[in-house]
Amino acid sequence: MLELQGQGWLQLGELGLAFVLSALIGLEREIRHKSAGLRTYTLVGFAAALIMLVSKYGFTNILINDRIVLDPSRIAAQIVTGIGFIGGGLIFVRRDSVRGLTTAAIVWLTAAIGMACGAGLPILALAVTAGHFIVVLGFPYIAGRLPKSKWTPSLLQVTYQDGREILRDVLVKCTQHAFTVSRLEVKRAEEGIVTVALEVQGIGSVSKLAAKLADIEGVVSVNAGDVNVLSEE
């Protein structure tokens, strides 16, 4: 039995490769409990491969020599544009922090891998999949060992008993550990209790500074948010 053009074992193999590579990326994100997981990435890569195959083989029945010419690359351009809507929906901005950028970028990369599979470029698809795992698993290890910038702000929230001049002790302790306070804001004041937010800058460990502040008599609690520590999204 003759195989229909564009619907043979080669195309099924390209779809299968896109499915497997996309699922591998999705599995890694699922294990790490990211906002997009196994199903999202598998469907994105799988669908991108199908769209590329449709672009390559879906219009052969209307081609006429010297009269109708199709450009399969136009579909690739539309996939790149369209996948941006999914990526944009995964990015969240909260005050001064942006979350989900890496997740959105990996969705975009998964679509590209599916496109490569559908276009008949399996070696490139495999290489980019391997590159994905190097970036998301290896780069945090490297970035965590890069020198920290003393200009990068970190946040501290200190709750303490009012009327004991504890804020002065907090500021002194920050200075002793080579941190400067660039901003201070009273977040909440209750009867006998004050909570202040401090924005500090320095090359030391904010978690260690928080531990020292917690040892001050009269301090109720200290919460630290160290932006110098890499948080992979």
Which of 143, 161, 187 is the C-terminal boundary of a domain?
143
Q: What share of the chain is helix, strand, coil (3-state, %, to 5)?
A: 55, 20, 30
Tens digit of each residue's pLDDT (9 = 90 or more) over 59-78:
666 666 656 566 666 777 77
The secondary structure element, H or E, covering residue 97 is: strand 97-99
Q: Do residue 61 and residue 172 come from a single domain?
A: no
Q: The CATH number of the domain where 200 resides is what? A: 3.30.70.260
Q: Is residue 86 part of a domain?
A: yes
The answer to whether residues 128 and 212 belong to one domain is no
| Whether residue 61 is found in the same domain as residue 166 | no
* Same domain, residue pair 121 and 189: no
Number of structural domains, the chain? Answer: 2
Local confidence band at 1 (pLDDT 50, 70, 90 cut-offs): very low
In this predicted structure, what is the pLDDT of residue 229? 38
Q: Answer yes or no: do 107 and 174 share one domain.
A: no
Full domain range(s) for residue 189 = 153-225
The Cα-based distances of 120 to 12, 164, 169, 219, 222 in angstroms read: 11, 72, 66, 63, 56
User: Whose CA is closest to 111, among 125, 130, 91, 92?
Assistant: 125
The domain boundary, picked from 143, 163, 183, lies at 143
Give yes or no for a contact between 129 and 24, defined as CB atoms under 8 angstroms apart: yes
List the one residue out of 198, 133, 206 whose CA is nearest residue 171. 198
Q: Is residue 148 part of a domain?
A: no
In a domain? residue 129: yes
In tens, the pLDDT along 142-183 reads 766 766 666 677 888 888 888 778 888 888 888 888 888 888
Residue 3 within any structural domain of the chain: no
